[in-house]
Amino acid sequence: MKLIELKEEFLAYLGKIRNVSPNTVTGYRNDLNQLMFFLTPELEINSVTKENLLLCIGQLSREKKSAASINRFIASVRMMFSYGLKFGHLKKNPALELKTVKNPKKIPRFMTENEVEKICNQPKIHELLWEKRDEALFKMLYSSGCRISEITNLKLKDISYDMHWAFVTGKGNKTRKVFFDEASRSALRVYLEDRKKVLEAHNIEIKKNERLFLNQKGMPLTVAGARYIVTRYSGIEGTNKHINPHAFRHTFATHLISQGADVRIVQEMLGHANISTTQRYTHVTTEKLIETYNKAHPHS
């Protein structure tokens, strides 16, 4: 069997048998495509050695890829060869002894309350794209802690009648309940009225398009489209302080924990499988440290 054949069979297994999300499959595909580039797709899988794989890792390092990117590549390669061994395509697993590289711990990037307010107000100030949709999108991302894929996949039927909460489907097809504050609900109500007008303008039946967030042509908003919206409003035309959509999720978690929320409850709200992932947010913001110092230190 050739490398390209093993790759395609493995990816089909992830998507169709393991029911892994399309975004995760795409991540594996991108990593394994790098392997194909380094070793050639036509290479016979049983001729791949540990040394071959170490050379690939070395090349990624020379290209100054981050430790996280290299470790994700190693994990993808390990899983593919483990699959090949399990199903009898390989005589031995050349990736078995690969070691991950040291990954320096980074504090997740998050926004202050003022920065959240500023980005959420940008659609009203500049109206670069679709004001009412974009305001609702930003406020719901911050209020719910949703991943960008979860919010773009949200359907009208997933939202409660009073708009206080919704069911979203996250990684591993796990469903969880997320919540929306009053500001989000207010922005959502205004957007839904505008949404009807857009569908009518494009002669699209409301019942045929269940996705909550649409693009300006009345079609479902994609993850790439949502990323573009955040980029526009956080770029030089907006706040001039670039963020990505995940910053809303980081900020949601950071603000909850800094206000005393139990880390296990935040874990449930975020849909994290492991508590260690959520514990990254237990860092204290600089503003909180300064505030505590000024209140407590006698010479402050």
Active-site positions read 147, 171, 246, 249, 272, 281
Burial 272-286 (b: 16+ CB within 10 A, else e): beeeeebebbeeebe
Name the residue with tokens 């237990």. 282
- The answer to whether 141 and 248 are in contact (CB under 8 A) is yes
Q: How many CB atoms lie within 10 A of CB 54?
A: 14
What does the alpha-carbon distance between residue 153 and residue 134 come to, in Å, rounded to a whole number? 16
Residue 227 token pair: 């990323």
Q: How many residues does the chain have?
A: 300
Pick the closest to residue 249 from 271, 233, 231, 264 (CA basis): 271
